[in-house]
């Protein structure tokens, strides 16, 4: 095979790799939730809760969080891992105010949930004696 054909093939391969990387980078990133046990965590003042969610509750949260489009930054929410829902090593920090935002801990990525889903998350925390939003 001639040198020019080898260079053409090598150039084509490099272009394909760079093209695939560019497409991957431009595609929106979405949440992928682990199937690990779900744990609700709430550590505020005198209230310290870490409780395993029921299968039904875990599936509900999984449905709310999974497949959401991720964005960079904290948005306008106020977050801490002390108010979170965890699936294995995935920590989803719940906005302490009433914003329907969730932050992925140690990731600087957030995603939005609907107002109705935010109410569902607030109700879930309330069920375990953990009031949201926090003033």
Give per-residue pLDDT as tens, 44-56: 999 999 999 999 9
- 90 domain residue, yes or no: yes
The span from the CA of 100 to the CA of 114, in Å, is 6
Q: How much is the pLDDT for 20?
A: 42
Same domain as 5, residue 43: no
Within this chain, do residues 21 and 42 fall inside the same structural domain, yes or no?
no
Q: Is 132 part of a structural domain of the chain?
A: no
pLDDT band at residue 33 using 50, 70 and 90 as cut-offs: confident
Q: What is the CA radius of gyration of the chain?
A: 21
Structural domain for 24, as ranges = 1-28
What is the overall mean pLDDT for the chain? 84
pTM of structure: 0.78
133: in domain: no
- Asked if 109 and 73 sit in the same domain, the reply is yes
- Among 86, 121, 82, 87, residue whose Cα is nearest residue 101: 121
Q: Check whether residue 15 and residue 79 sit in a common domain.
A: no
Contacts of 40 (CB under 8 A, 6+ apart): 49, 50, 51, 53, 84, 85, 124, 125, 128, 130
Structural domain total, the chain: 2
Q: Clarify whether residues 21 and 81 are in a common domain.
A: no
């Amino acid at each position: 095979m001639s040198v020019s054909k080898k260079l053409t093939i090598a150039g084509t391969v490099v272009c394909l790799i760079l093209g695939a990387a560019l497409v991957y980078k431009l595609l929106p990133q979405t949440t992928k939730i682990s199937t690990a046990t779900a744990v609700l965590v709430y550590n505020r003042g005198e209230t310290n809760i870490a409780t395993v969610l029921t299968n039904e509750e875990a599936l509900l949260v999984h449905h709310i969080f999974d497949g959401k489009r991720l964005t960079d930054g904290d948005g306008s929410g106020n977050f801490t891992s002390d108010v979170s829902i965890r699936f294995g090593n995935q920590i989803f920090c719940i906005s302490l105010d009433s914003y329907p935002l969730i932050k992925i801990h140690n990731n600087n990525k957030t995603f939005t949930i609907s107002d109705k889903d935010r109410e569902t998350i607030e109700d879930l925390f309330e069920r375990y004696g953990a009031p949201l939003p926090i003033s």
